[in-house]
């Protein structure tokens, strides 16, 4: 499992690095691409820690002399995981608001809302992880086991809130699009968000559930017949690795076929909020205009 996690994490590190490079320096950002940029950053830091953890454990298994892995790295990993889940919840809420109240969203939404929310989510995730790590002995001397349990409860409650918000906003969005009185066209951005949320629920959520169970069930590890921690690590690495793949796959689908193109263009298409029908119509009209120009020449 650790070898598999290491391979997946290395692939995901490259994919999220490409997304960070294009969205950060070579593409014009909008409200949703800011969230995608921060989500890629959270996945990038999470995968960095998992690579270090897997290499350290593999070397230790083969009796190589290694430096002790600092406990601070676990705090950074949990902070990145919390931030990734927070970004997904914010993306789902933002998309739900844009579909349910489009006039308010286009006319009255503050311009820098995405940047402010991302900053607050990074700060809150890091603060929760640092406080929990300090009181549970991962950073400095704690005030006592009661404070550790208190911050474990706060972190677990925040995880549950994020999960409920993510699931509720996603369901509300799907009901509004498919069962609403007005027909709302499906866009590439909607497909990107839905696929990202589904992948997280299948592969990223077990890491948070395992983290919560370890915090609240005494002797949980001794009760279980096998160690599920490497399994949750592998699944979470796959979740962080799958996000860039989703962006490029959604961007490559055109006229119900996969088309090769530059990674930058594929990423731009995945963030488009135009209906697929209009996009294909634009492609047909541009093709006809090129044919007319050829005939005239």
Q: What is the pLDDT of residue 271?
A: 80
* 274 within some domain: yes
Q: What is the pLDDT of residue 178?
A: 74
**pTM, entire model:** 0.84
Per-residue pLDDT of the chain (297 residues; tens, 9 = 90+): 888 999 999 999 999 999 999 888 877 878 788 999 999 999 999 999 889 888 888 887 887 766 666 666 777 888 899 999 999 999 988 888 888 887 877 887 887 888 899 999 999 998 888 887 766 666 655 555 567 777 778 888 888 898 899 888 888 888 877 776 666 777 888 888 889 999 998 999 888 888 766 656 665 666 665 677 788 889 999 999 999 999 888 888 765 555 566 777 888 887 877 665 555 444 444 443 443 343 334
* 256 within some domain: yes
* 292 within some domain: no
* 287 within some domain: no
* 61 within some domain: yes
Q: What is the pLDDT of residue 58?
A: 84
Which residues constitute the domain of residue 153? 2-280
* 293 within some domain: no
Q: What is the pLDDT of residue 44?
A: 94
CATH of the domain at 99: 1.20.1070.10
Spatial separation of the C-alpha atoms in residues 128 and 143, rounded to whole Å = 16
Q: Are 278 and 285 in contact (CB under 8 A)?
A: no
Domain count, the chain: 1
Distances (CA, A) of 150 to 139, 144, 161: 17, 10, 17
* 233 within some domain: yes
């Amino acid at each position: 499992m650790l070898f598999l996690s290491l391979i997946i994490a290395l692939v995901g590190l490259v994919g999220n690095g490409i997304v960070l490079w294009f969205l950060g320096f070579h593409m014009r950002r909008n409200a949703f691409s800011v969230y995608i940029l921060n989500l890629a950053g959270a996945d990038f830091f999470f995968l960095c820690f998992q690579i270090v953890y897997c290499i350290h454990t593999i070397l230790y298994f083969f009796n190589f002399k290694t430096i002790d892995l600092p406990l601070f790295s676990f705090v950074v990993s949990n902070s990145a995981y919390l931030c990734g889940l927070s970004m997904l919840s914010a993306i789902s809420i933002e998309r739900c608001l844009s579909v349910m109240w489009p006039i308010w969203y286009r006319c009255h939404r503050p311009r820098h809302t995405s940047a402010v929310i991302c900053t607050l989510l990074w700060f809150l995730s890091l603060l929760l992880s640092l406080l929990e790590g300090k009181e549970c002995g991962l950073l400095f001397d704690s005030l006592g086991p009661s404070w550790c349990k208190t911050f474990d409860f706060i972190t677990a409650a925040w995880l549950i809130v994020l999960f409920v918000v993510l699931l509720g906003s996603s369901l509300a969005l799907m009901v509004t699009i498919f069962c609403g009185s007005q027909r709302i066209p499906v866009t590439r951005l909607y497909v990107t968000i839905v696929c990202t949320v589904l992948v997280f629920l299948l592969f990223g959520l077990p890491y948070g559930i395992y983290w919560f169970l370890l915090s609240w069930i005494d002797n949980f590890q001794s009760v279980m017949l096998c160690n599920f921690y490497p399994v949750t690590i592998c699944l979470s690495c796959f979740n962080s690795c799958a996000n860039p793949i989703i962006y490029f796959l959604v961007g490559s689908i055109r006229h119900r076929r996969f088309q090769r193109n530059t990674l930058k263009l594929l990423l731009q298409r995945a963030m488009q909020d135009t209906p697929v029908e209009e996009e294909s119509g634009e492609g047909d009209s541009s093709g006809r205009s090129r044919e007319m120009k050829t005939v005239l020449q």
